[in-house]
Amino acid sequence: MTMHARPQAADLPFAARIDRLAEVAVRVGLNLQPGQELVLTAPLDALPLARAITAQAYRAGASLVTTLLGDDVATLARFAHAPDEAFDTAAGWLYSGMAEAYRNGAARLAISGDDPALLAGQDPDRVARANRSRSKAYVPALELIANFATNWTIVSAATPAWARTVFPDLPEDEAVARLWDAIFAASRVDGPDALAAWSEHNAALHARKDLLNGHRFSAIRFRGPGTDLTVGLADDHAWCGGAATSRSGITCNANIPTEEVFTTPHRGRVDGYVASTKPLSYQGTLIEEIAVRFEAGRIVESRASRGSDVLARVLDTDEGARRLGEVALVPASSAISASGLLFYNTLYDENAASHIALGQAYSKCFVDDGAGLSEDDLSARGANRSLIHIDWMIGSSAVDVDGIDSDGQAVPVMRGGEWV
């Protein structure tokens, strides 16, 4: 019998490559189950991928796909014309409805691809108020996502505004094509068998997190240019990475792509100083060259060369916004880092470098999977609570990482940004 391998994605028409990405999103990212509903959000410019995902979801047996589209033009119209008091308003009814869908077993899929600098020229106070209002309204849904109550994932689409940011010197159509190529490569859909590639990648991530869990480090220390940071880890923490099983019993990959292993810091045991190694794109504003200092888990000094006013407002969101909810390790040679691109998109840039996250902790990153733990239980173990969860990158080929044993001894974990 003659066997024919599936063609490389790069040799396929664009629509076929989109369909492969949609298949990975549904089969690997979500592992969508027959009869399950799906709540899908996407930028308007990502409509071709949203439609392909919808088709793949119905092929997988979805009972209903509900799509919510965002429009940058409409967002800017709000900042141009809405009364000032409008920026303290958010669609709580929408997020409450999403939370109800997740509690009833619906899956969640978000397509990212927003303009990284959409709100860069807007009033920072209005941006901060709008973000704070949305964050408060989003709490019912965010808590279910953060607690892994249902299967969810994030994928990306190359939109013109995003592509122009990544490739500012190229014509728009060429920039969009280049960005799509980068997305296909990072999402592991450019080989002959994307599903097999993801199975192999998940196995590698599981082996890495199992090794870290075996050490039972009490802290992780980062050292490099502008950085000497010790991140104490929550009591009974567990490292996670790759495919994981939600509380609903469905195994999924929450991020497409993903290169990280991560866990929950102790909100009161972070000390030292740290400098970002990549810009942070937050709600349409670029925040560059972040430098902060922690004392007893809390940021007590902060600055940024660009977007410092937005950073200051983020840190004032609530008490937990100045504390950490996640620490993640990513090798500098990851597929995304090897692309040499700065994506101005947290989903991609966080998978190019080790990172930390301000704000809400993931309750699943504990030895008992956090199942059944109350907020008081999580707090007693050191988990942080906040309206926000914002990742920013602190790793590079110039950063070393050590694990600190319970007796204070340092064990090399990464040297020059690579696993030891």
| Kind of pairing between the strands at 324-329 and 418-419 | unpaired
| 329 dihedral zone (left: phi>0; alpha: psi -120 to 50; beta) | beta
Q: pLDDT tens digits, residue range 324-341? A: 999 999 999 888 988 889
The span from the CA of 395 to the CA of 376, in Å, is 32
Q: Looking at the predicted structure, is the pLDDT value of residue 3 above 50?
A: no
Answer whether residue 115 shows pLDDT above 80: yes
Q: pTM score, two decimals?
A: 0.86
Domains in the chain, CATH or no CATH each:
9-186 (3.40.1830.10), 216-248+260-419 (no CATH)
Would you place residue 9 in the very low, low, confident or very high pLDDT band (cuts 50, 70, 90)? low
For the stretch 42-93, pLDDT in tens is 999 999 999 999 999 999 999 999 999 999 999 999 999 999 999 999 999 9
Q: Within 13 Å and on the Cβ side, how many CA atoms surround 285?
A: 25
Nearest alpha carbon to residue 296 among 325, 276, 316, 322: 322
